[in-house]
């Protein structure tokens, strides 16, 4: 593997310069610059493109529960686009804290810290385009507006209230305007400790926070 830049970006501007160079380039180009081979399909490499971009841009966070660019507090998210140029998938944000000891305020939450500043990188993702030929779009450096944050916060609060009051099993992906909670696991047999409907701690499916496609669509439209 070849490292393209000497270290992590020190400023947002430096990050944007690095990302802007990729606009219009293909995934083949992105991989070639780093002497990494593209997988034949994303089927068995679902996060490959995101990882490739992190490496290219100089992220050092690894799999720490932190924004990708810790030095400047920016989170990197790819945004897969369908044939119409709209987001085709929801966006994973972070793990849902299920235990009482893990609870925080909205201000301290990982959801807020990650979504405070996001570098969105649109990627062509229509199934008809071969992976190597899919193009990277122009980067969007985004922060939630006041109204957006208000709704994100309300979603988070509503969902976390359910988590801590033993209503976890009543949470479905239908809840939440912008944010939703869905399974985030190796498979349906994966288990995590959580608060049961009797208030005890028992085993449950690990969950994650996701941004709905209809929300990321508006982010894209506003640019």
Partner DNA sequence: CATTGATCATAA
Partner DNA sequence: TTATGATCAATG
Q: Give the interface segment with DNA, choosing from 18-26, 123-131, 148-156, 158-166 (CB under 7 A).
A: 123-131
For residues 146 and 177, which CB has a smaller minimum distance to DNA in the complex?
177
Query: What distance in Å separates the CA atoms of residue 131 and residue 138, rounded to the nearest whole number?
Result: 18
- If one asks whether residue 151 binds DNA (CB under 7 A), the answer comes out as no
| Cα four-point dihedral sign 191, 193, 194, 195 | positive
Query: What distance in Å separates the CA atoms of residue 148 and residue 163, rounded to the nearest whole number?
Result: 22
| Cα four-point dihedral sign 40, 42, 46, 51 | positive
With CB under 7 A as the contact rule, the residue among 64, 101, 107, 200 that binds DNA is: 64
- If one asks whether residue 192 binds DNA (CB under 7 A), the answer comes out as yes
For residues 162 and 185, which CB has a smaller minimum distance to DNA in the complex?
185
Query: Least distance to DNA from the beta carbon of 99, Å?
Result: 9
Q: Kindly write down the DSSP assignment for every residue of 118-172, as one continuous string.
A: EEEEEEE--TTS-GGGPBB---EEE---HHHHHHHHHHHHHHHHHHHTT-GGG--
Interface with DNA in residues 159-188 (CB under 7 A): 172-174, 180, 182-188
Residues that bind DNA (CB under 7 A): 41-47, 49-51, 53-54, 61-65, 68, 75-78, 80, 89-92, 94-95, 110, 123, 125, 127, 172-174, 180, 182-190, 192, 205-206, 208, 212-214
């Amino acid at each position: 593997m070849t490292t393209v830049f000497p270290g992590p970006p020190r400023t947002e501007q430096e990050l944007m310069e690095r990302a802007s160079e990729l606009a219009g380039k293909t995934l083949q180009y992105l991989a070639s610059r780093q002497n990494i081979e593209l997988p034949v399909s994303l089927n068995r490499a679902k996060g490959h493109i995101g990882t490739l971009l992190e490496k290219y841009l100089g992220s050092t966070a690894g799999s720490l529960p932190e924004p990708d660019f810790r030095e400047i507090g920016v989170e990197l998210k790819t945004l897969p686009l369908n044939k119409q140029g709209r987001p085709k998938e929801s966006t994973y944000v972070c793990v849902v804290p299920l235990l009482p000891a893990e609870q925080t305020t909205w201000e301290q939450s990982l959801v807020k810290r990650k979504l405070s500043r996001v570098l969105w990188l649109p990627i062509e993702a229509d199934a008809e385009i071969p992976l190597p030929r899919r193009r990277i779009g122009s980067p969007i450096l985004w922060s939630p507006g006041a109204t957006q944050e208000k709704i994100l916060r309300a979603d988070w609060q509503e969902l976390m209230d359910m988590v801590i009051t033993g209503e976890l099993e009543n949470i479905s992906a239908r809840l939440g305007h912008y944010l939703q909670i869905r399974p985030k696991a190796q498979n349906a047999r994966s288990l995590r400790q959580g608060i049961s409907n009797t208030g005890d701690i028992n085993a449950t499916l690990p969950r994650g926070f996701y941004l709905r496609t209809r929300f990321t669509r508006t982010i894209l439209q506003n640019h």
